[in-house]
Amino acid sequence: YTHDYWILDADNTLHYFNEENYLSYPIPEKIDSIAASNRGENYVKVYYANQNIELLKANLETKAIEKHISPQGYNYKSIEPINAEHYLFTIAGGLMGVFDKYGKIILAPEYAKIEAETNEKGEYYKLTTADGLHGRANIDGTILIPAKYIEVTNISINRDVFWFLVRTPDSLVGL
């Protein structure tokens, strides 16, 4: 197991190192604090004095610290990587959304909870509204099932067929 370290020095330069690598990244803005991402994979969250949050990744293949662009216009509470391409973000008020590494919104911050799931057909997102209603979206953000159901259950018929069983607030059930 390799231990990863992030250090911010007095010159506002962010340093990443482990037993095999050393990278540095000068940051022009005033930083309030940094925190390692709880998702691992060499990510660090940078909290700026102006209340912005940025996600940086130490890319050990290119030997560079990459800045992942977060969409402008949101008051972020947190940003976490979901996978190599997408980031879960929470805004003030607790609503969640997803953006990609280029800053494009995949899912607007309209959900109380978003979870990445994987099945035989690939990845998708489980969506839950503040009212406790559920839905599903595919990995590119296309809504497969609108978040208006009390329950959404995954049903795998075989490797080629994958359905969702839904239950409405009126207790109607459908596929």
Which residues, 6 or more positions from 25, have their beta carbon under 8 angstroms from its beta carbon?
A: 13, 14, 15, 16, 56, 65
Residue 94 is classified by DSSP as: S
Q: What is the mean pLDDT of residues 141-150?
A: 91
Beta sheet of 13-17, edge-to-edge order: 5-8, 13-17, 22-26
Asked whether the predicted pLDDT for residue 173 surpasses 70, the reply is no
pLDDT at residue 157, as a whole number: 60
Indicate the pLDDT class of residue 40, thresholds 50, 70 and 90: low
Token pair listed for 71: 């969409």
> Model confidence over 78-94: pLDDT tens digits?
888 887 788 888 888 89
State the chain's mean pLDDT as an integer. 83
Q: What is the mean pLDDT of residues 112-136?
A: 88
pTM: 0.70
Asked whether the predicted pLDDT for residue 110 surpasses 80, the reply is yes
User: Which residue did the predictor score with more confidence, 172 or 108?
Assistant: 108
Pairing status of strand 96-100 against strand 64-68: unpaired
